[in-house]
Chain A
């Protein structure tokens, strides 16, 4: 499912922050699948030489760059970059999740405020209609 499908039908506006929260959740789900998921499923195994190559079947031969000192250095550096990018991708996912939660809370607060405002409005209207208040015609 693409991101376009995930947000299809959502009506984002200040009056509908719940849909905004769903929108953010959709972005996170897509990120987790297309970016993080692709990393974990297809990039990370290659990093450690897990592939169809004959040498990959040899225990301890997890370095696709070769088996000498400089190759080990390159492999170490590549692994470090992989770890760093993986951390960043995970962090983005966490931020999107938190943003979705906050957006949902904003939507809930907005709806609650709207309900309170409506209640106040009703009470004011009732007060205005009260004969004791003596304003009605």
Chain B
């Protein structure tokens, strides 16, 4: 087992930072899905060999002029043995494919639930929002906000450029110069200066702490769920252990079947313990309070060929929402776009498009951000 210091670039095990670095940045659900798909395809390629060996057998040993005698019997036994081995390969390949698909679903679900912190600012020159990863990569350059693969590329590049910025999200975000400058003015109108205890800075730290702890809890649960799934699935992925039939192995080759769920207002859905996320309006509302500053839902059921989308969370959003006078614990409700994800019944299957810009969802009263 790899030591935490090696696996997560020095990030303490079990933390939010570890979940992002070790799962979201390094995990590749699409590769696991591709692997499952390739094994499924490969298993189908064995059929021709079996069929033509059976034809050979019929040509030599059936009919009036059939080959008979001890040598013929030996030859048939060899043919049968080769066919049996091919069938076993076909069988085990199919099971490996199914179990890999389950593993891909688990990883995909984790990626879609582990929040990735971004610093959301405002560019007054272009009159639009800016989104920066912890290392400073601007997500608005290129397609990162619209294409999950581009987002993952940006995330990996951001992490590699400065892994130290992924060691402590709370400190990283608090130290952000842009964050402090842009948000400072709003705290003066916040609850800390309206009768609350402590200074605006203290209040800001409290809000960021709350933001951090709630998102860390979500990430921790997602990471723990993934670890448990891996522990359960690992034996089923090892042919040598003879346990390739995993419990409840689904016969699907995609991640679109139950449990994974679709887009949602928040990735906190697994607080319910039932797994899976729901669309807003697609079912009864959850009692769990979404993390403050969570601005975009993750999506796990992208399936083969598409990266699952990681949810984004911004401390600035949490602080600004609280700065409007929303009481403690209510900041999340103001910050989280509960309606995002579509009002329809089906899960979202696409990344953000221009026509469904998440920013059309108001994150707070007018004037807070603008």
Interfacial residues, chain A to chain B (CB-CB below 8 A): 2-3, 7, 12-15, 20, 23-24, 26-27, 30-31, 34-35, 38-39, 42-43, 46-47, 49, 51, 53-58, 61, 63-74, 77-78, 80-81, 84-85, 88-89, 91-92, 95-96, 99, 102-103, 106
Which residue in A2, A15, A65, A96 is a CB contact (below 8 Å) of B27? A65
In the bound complex, residues from chain A placing their C-beta under 8 Å from that of B8 are 67-68
Q: Are B153 and A13 in contact (CB under 8 A)?
A: no
* Interface flag for B210 (CB, 8 Å): no
Contact status of A54 and B237, CB under 8 A, knowing A13-B59, A61-B26, A69-B1: no
Main secondary structure of the interface of B (DSSP, over half): helix
Contact between chains at B85 and A12 (CB < 8 Å): no
Seed contacts A68-B22, A74-B103; 10 additional CB < 8 Å A-B pairs:
A35-B46, A55-B26, A55-B152, A65-B27, A66-B23, A68-B4, A70-B227, A74-B233, A95-B78, A99-B79
State A95–B89 Cα separation when bound (angstroms). Answer: 14
The answer to whether A53 and B30 touch (CB under 8 A), given A14-B65, A70-B231, is yes
Measured between alpha carbons, how far is A68 from B239 in the docked complex, in Å? 22
Give the top 8 A-B pairs by smallest Cβ distance, nearest first: A77-B238, A64-B31, A70-B230, A54-B156, A69-B1, A64-B28, A67-B26, A54-B153
Contact B48 A65 (CB under 8 A): no
**A68 to B9 alpha-carbon distance, docked (Å):** 11
Q: How far is the CB of B39 from chain A (nearest CB, A)?
A: 7
Q: When the two chains form their complex, are residues B230 and A34 in contact, meaning their CB atoms are under 8 A apart? A: no
Contact B31 A51 (CB under 8 A): yes
Within the complex, the shortest CB–CB distance from A83 to chain B, in Å, comes to 9
**Considering the chains assembled together, what is the distance between the CA atoms of A95 and B86 in angstroms?**
11
> Which residues of B pack against A, CB within 8 Å?
1-2, 4, 7-8, 13, 18, 21-23, 25-28, 30-32, 34-35, 38-39, 41-42, 45-46, 48-49, 52-53, 56, 59-60, 65-67, 71, 75, 78-79, 81-82, 85-86, 88-89, 92-93, 96, 100, 103, 107, 152-153, 155-157, 160, 226-227, 230-231, 233-235, 237-241, 244
Bound form: Cα–Cα A23–B53 in Å: 9
Kindly count the residue-residue contacts between A and B in the assembled complex, taking CB atoms under 8 Å apart. Answer: 186
Interface of A is mostly: helix
CB–CB A66/B153 < 8 A:
no
Q: Which residue of A lies closest to B1 (CB)?
A: A69
The residue in chain B whose Cβ has the minimal distance to the Cβ of A88 is B89
Bound-complex Cα distance A15 to B66 (A): 10
Inter-subunit contact B48/A3 (CB<8 Å): yes
A12-B56 in contact given A68-B22, A78-B100, A89-B89 (Cβ < 8 Å): yes
Structural contact, A43 and B39, CB atoms closer than 8 A: yes
Instruction: Flag if A42 contacts B38 (CB, 8 Å).
Output: yes
